[in-house]
Amino acid sequence: MNSSTADNNVFPQFCEKAATDINCFKTFKQSPDFTPILEHVDYNQGVAYYKHILLNKKITKLLDKFKINDRLGGPKTYDFNFGSFSPTTLRYVKVLSDLAQLNLEDKNIVEIGGGYGGQYTVLRQYIKPKSYTFVDLPQVLKLQKKYIKENKLDDITLNFYNSNNLPIVNCDLVISNYAISECNSEIQDIYISKILKNSKHGYITHNKFEGYDIDTFIKHTTKKVKKHNESPQTGIDNILITW
């Protein structure tokens, strides 16, 4: 979620409505108040994500299991030659295929900017972490709780932290895709000091908005990170950093 979105009440208000209104929840992934933020991945990007997923044979074999993420919310799906999927779900699977290089079983994972819970839902088809912590706006957290409960994936320790009232969090892995990099530097400093510096591993897709540039961001994390080109590249300046 970018900073301009955070300042705009339309998206968080819609998330709260989707979490509390049954009819809205049924099709929330199709709403014009929602799709520009979290369901905007197109067909061609979906194909590109699939090609990346093919690099991980274990994840590729589980592809049908990830369709669970398209079961709720009425997303727009496409008939690819490997099955019917929302391209957004394929993006989550792509991220999982990268994360699967780590031993994630029984680990403590934090996601900054967890959307509706799609990454968690996909990840749970592969492993069962010890705990999973979401950090987001309070209205968005409500939608995450609803989505996870409806998918019956609330069988582990789940934490939901308001990004405006964040405790110090220690974890094995922190994930943030197009989220922390879209916050202003003051908010980034909070996330860095309270989460990133306390995380053994990190996976962050950085797309510059108004916060720190990538090199300054890395310097502040005090982590010895690796910089990768985003694959597939969805933004000219997007960089993936890991540690």
Q: Residue with structure tokens 């991945």? A: 41
pLDDT tens-digit map of 104-156: 999 999 999 999 999 999 999 999 999 999 999 999 999 999 999 999 999 99
Write down the pLDDT at residue 163. Answer: 85
More confident residue, 57 or 163: 57
pLDDT tens-digit map of 178-208: 999 999 999 999 999 999 999 999 999 999 7
pTM, to two decimals: 0.94
Write down the pLDDT at residue 44. Answer: 97
Scanning the chain, the segments in alpha helix (DSSP H) are: 3-7, 10-20, 22-26, 35-38, 43-53, 57-61, 87-99, 118-123, 138-150, 185-194, 214-221
Other C-beta atoms lying within 10 Å of the C-beta of residue 195:
24
pLDDT tens-digit map of 78-91: 999 999 999 999 99
Other C-beta atoms lying within 10 Å of the C-beta of residue 149:
12
Edge-first strand listing for the sheet containing 239-242 = 157-162, 131-136, 108-112, 171-177, 199-206, 239-242, 226-229
Write down the pLDDT at residue 1. Answer: 44
